[in-house]
Structure 1
Amino acid sequence: MQITRRHALMGASAILGAAMLGTGTGLSAETREKARALGLRITALKTFLVAPRSIFVKVYTNQGITGLGVALQTSKEVATAAAIMENERVLIGRDPTRIEALWQELYQAPRWRGGPLTAAISAIDIALWDILGQALGQPIHQLLGGAVRDSIRIYGSTMDMTPAIFAEQKAQGITATRVQAPKGSVGAMIAATRRWREMVGPDHELAVHMDGTLSTREAMQYLHRVEDLNLLWVEEPIQMDDVEDWAMLRARTTTPLATGERVLTKWGFAPYLNRHLIDFAQPDIASCGGLSEARKIAALAEVNRIQMAPHGPHESAGALVNLHFDAATPNFFAQEVRDYTSQFELDLHEGLVPQIKDGFAALPDRPGLGTVLNEKIAAQRPYIAITRSAEGRAF
């Protein structure tokens, strides 16, 4: 019997239904073998670039199941799509349920690594988890060991904090907000942060995002002057070029530090985690190496008592990747989200979008990733490369 995407998403994969573990603690070796016994083989890959910066891949199989993956590599979307397709010749005819083995081959075999190459592996890895979940009739988080929470805490994001924005977030049940630091002098950033804290009061958790715009000297000045504000974290105060700069910051402030959306793989995160240089790790699962690698980063963070707050300015497919990860990760703290209710978004994913209410996201409950990509809708917003100015806006 051919297993179709429709059957999988409807939870009608009766072939393996009776073999699922009911404890929520993971899949037995026997069940994994039954997945392999389906004879799944990869037959093709296809990429889709959707404005403004979404990179999707579909991984096709001989049993009619198609896995959906997503990559993020801002300003290198075309290169990332090409890197994804470079892997097709390696993957054709391979068993998509052997996720770890394929990850290791795609990462270890090439001479060059990083950037679009790692983002390409991320997208493929996510798609393979989607295939496995559909084949077994289980949401991905169940395959990762089962949910350790009933819902997923989110935090708000805003370019500025005003009384109106704060009131709106409170009405949505949001209890933590990350605010973008204003451009300009360190003094202006300090004044803005103090104004925001006064506005939201002492109990609302307040974080500040810097985009790596400060020099190390400026960052130390800022962190010193906001010590008394009890910030949730300061995110990316400096660039990731020199880990010793982060060691200097860590030694000179008690304000929690967060970073990671531009750090790739467990090896990239290791010095930040093993040396306790950050308090919150923020990998982007669509660029750091996929779900397989994010799980290892989370385990390393857990060993060092560091919490996870994955990067998440994605459309619905990327957001659902995060939610599966968040559900099954013990040291998860809160998730960055955005609005998934535009008509284009709903049409692009045929209504299968994250469900957010009262400051929490619901656990995804459909098999695999739990969404689809409508190719006709995707074609309505073709990607257009944009070259930005040299005045601080990366192209």
Structure 2
Amino acid sequence: MRITEVESVVLGDAHFVTVHTDTGLVGVGQSACWGYPTAVHAVVETFRPHLVGADPARIEHHWQHLYRMGPFRGAVLGGAVSAIDIALWDIKGKALGVPVFDLLGGRYRDKVRLHFLLPGTGAETLATQAAAAVADGFTAVKFDPLPANYGDLSQARLVAETAKTTAAVRDTVGPDIDILIELHRKLTPLQAAAVIPALAPHHPLMVEDAIQIDSISSQAEVARRALGVPSANGERLHTIWEFKELLAQGGAQYVRPDVGLAGGLSHGRKIAALAEAHHAAVVTHNCLGPLLTMASVHLDVAIPNFVTQEYSPLDDELADGPARACVRREGGYLPVPTDPGLGVTLDLAGAQPQDLTGRPLTRIPLRADGSIAYAT
């Protein structure tokens, strides 16, 4: 079997790839680098001369070749390699007639627990959305409790308002539902040192990405100082080497790899193994629709240290979009897929541009004085 074509398509802030073979099998993949999809597309175009005519089964060989073609790294390259890697695993599963998780070690669990991303802001809205999610069967919810004007508040008001919103959700869902706190990299390390302890009485499963991702050491330090409040990091990291540094410095109890950014399924299983060796758990990051959700699910099914899978409203809303999964949510869980490969069909013919994030890159948070606040 040989690769005959690599197709790269940008649809708004979504980027998909399809890898075609001379047997008629087609693998599908997606990048999670939603900020710069045309840049990812350009990198995939540079991959084509290596891939066309090659054996798609040599997944690790292709991963290393593509990653090391040039002395440049980062999210754009990571997104491009990830999309190709996912597509190659899809082809291998289809060629062997088995789901991808069978190639990653086999089925470890019988279903995949989900946590629902609450899209709202403010205590009242989030509490209402959390109650609806629990009524729909979810056993975990995730939300951002920071007030909209977080960049202009006094430290005391920032802490009080964040804790108040978190308390509203906890009081609504009760002690049998896990709450996951997403801070979207909005705080400085000094602010994080004040805010995170105030959330401890509400027993969050984790507090994620309190500060900017510029420094792995700083992320690790904030996590170490958050005594009694588990930290989660990694949705914007790209490689096992970055995750290794974070874990070695004691920087996360939960790692958050995104298979569409951190090297696909090949790298995802290595990151999970690194985390396991550090007694850390995996909470896979995902917010861009069914294809990446299903790719993540195959990793979740196969690894022992998985806890919960991110599930976006887009996964339901785009169920009839260009990417369609072979399984549908059952309450707060996804069943284990049984179709060969990823279990995803991708129909790009006539597909419309997608708005997966709802935020133009030029629209970032500003403080009252016109300076740039920490952006998400």
User: Is the TM-score greater than 0.5?
Assistant: yes
In 1, are the aligned partners of 2:186 and 2:374 still within 8 Å (CA)? no
Quote the residue 1:42 is aligned against: 3
Counterpart check, 1:207 vs 2:141: no
- Structure 2 residue aligned with 1:322: 296
What is the aligned partner in structure 2 of residue 124 from structure 1? 84
User: Which residue is equivalent to 1:239?
Assistant: 212
Q: For residues 82 and 383 of structure 1, do their structure 2 counterparts lie closer, same or farther at Cα, with a shift above 3 Å needed?
A: farther
- 1:370 is displaced (CA, Å) by 1.1
SS in 2 for 1:286: coil
Matched, 1:181 2:169: no
Secondary structure in 2 matching 1:206: strand
SS in 1 for 2:5: strand
Q: Distance in 2 between matches of 1:93 and 1:374?
A: 24
CA contact (8 A) 1:83 1:117 kept: yes
Matched, 1:194 2:167: yes
Is 1:95 aligned to residue 83 of structure 2? Answer: no
Q: List alignment gaps of at least 5 residues for structure 2.
A: 367-372
**How many residue pairs get matched?**
352
Deviation at 1:382, TM superposition (A): 6.6
Over residues 236-269 of structure 1, what are the superposed CA-to-partner deviations in whole Å (9 max), with x where a residue is unaligned?
1011222332343233222000111101110011
Normalised by the length of structure 2, the TM-score is 0.88
What is the CA distance between 1:93 and its match in structure 2?
1.1
Aligned to 2:16: 56
- What SS does the corresponding residue of 1:376 show, helix, strand or coil? coil
Alignment partner of 1:144 is 2:104: yes
Closer, same or farther: CA 108–347 of 1 in aligned 2, 3 Å? closer
Provide the C-alpha distance between the structure 2 equivalents of 1:381 and 1:251, rounded to a whole number of angstroms: 42
Aligned 8 A contact 1:49 1:383 in 2: no
Look up the equivalent residue of 1:171 and give its one-letter code. Answer: A
Q: Distance in 2 between matches of 1:382 and 1:194?
A: 35
Query: What is the aligned partner in structure 2 of residue 311 from structure 1?
Result: 285
C-alpha deviation, 1:127, in angstroms: 0.5
Residue 210 of structure 1 and its aligned partner are, at CA, apart by: 0.6
Please say which of residues 178-187 and 260-269 is displaced more in the overlay. 178-187
Pair member with larger Rg: 1
Pick from 146, 169, 172: which aligns with 2:133? 169
**Which of residues 27, 33, 46 in structure 2 aligns to 1:67?**
27
3-state secondary structure, aligned to 2:113: strand
Give per-residue Cα distances to partners, 1:41-75, cap 9 Å, x unaligned.
Answer: 11111111123x21100111111111101101122
Residue 340 of structure 2 is aligned with which of 335, 344, 367? 367
3-state SS, counterpart of residue 117 of structure 1: helix
C-alpha separation in 2, matches of 1:393 and 1:45: 37
- Specify the alignment match of 2:320 in structure 1: 346
Higher deviation after alignment, 102-111 or 283-292? 102-111
The whole-number CA distance in structure 2 between the counterparts of 1:251 and 1:313 is: 27
The 1:216/1:78 distance shift into structure 2, 3 A limit, reads: same
**Aligned partner (choices 146, 149, 156) of residue 116 of structure 2:** 156
1-side partners of 2:181 and 2:128: how far apart?
Answer: 18
| CA distance in 1: counterparts of 2:355 and 2:305, whole angstroms | 36
Aligned 8 A contact 2:185 2:211 in 1: yes
What CA distance in whole angstroms lies between the structure 1 residues aligned with 2:326 and 2:238?
Answer: 27
Work out whether 1:248 is the aligned partner of 2:212: no
- Output one character per residue of 1:280-306: Cα deviation in whole Å (capped at 9) or x when no partner: 101110011110001100000001111
Residues 256 and 282 of structure 2 are in contact (CA less than 8 Å); yes or no, is this contact kept in structure 1? yes
Superposition RMSD on alpha carbons, in Å? 2.1
User: Structure 1 residues 195, 171: CA separation in 2 closer, same or farther (over 3 Å shift)?
Assistant: closer
Whether the 8 Å CA contact 2:131–2:173 is kept in 1: the answer is no
- For the Cα contact (< 8 Å) 1:348–1:377, is it kept in 2? no
Structure-2 separation of matches of 1:282 and 1:382:
24
- Aligned mate of 2:271, from 280, 290, 297: 297
Q: Letter of the 1:117 partner, please give it.
A: L
User: In 2, are the aligned partners of 1:219 and 1:237 still within 8 Å (CA)?
Assistant: yes
Please state how far the C-alpha of 1:335 moved relative to its aligned partner: 0.3
- SS of equivalent to 2:344: coil
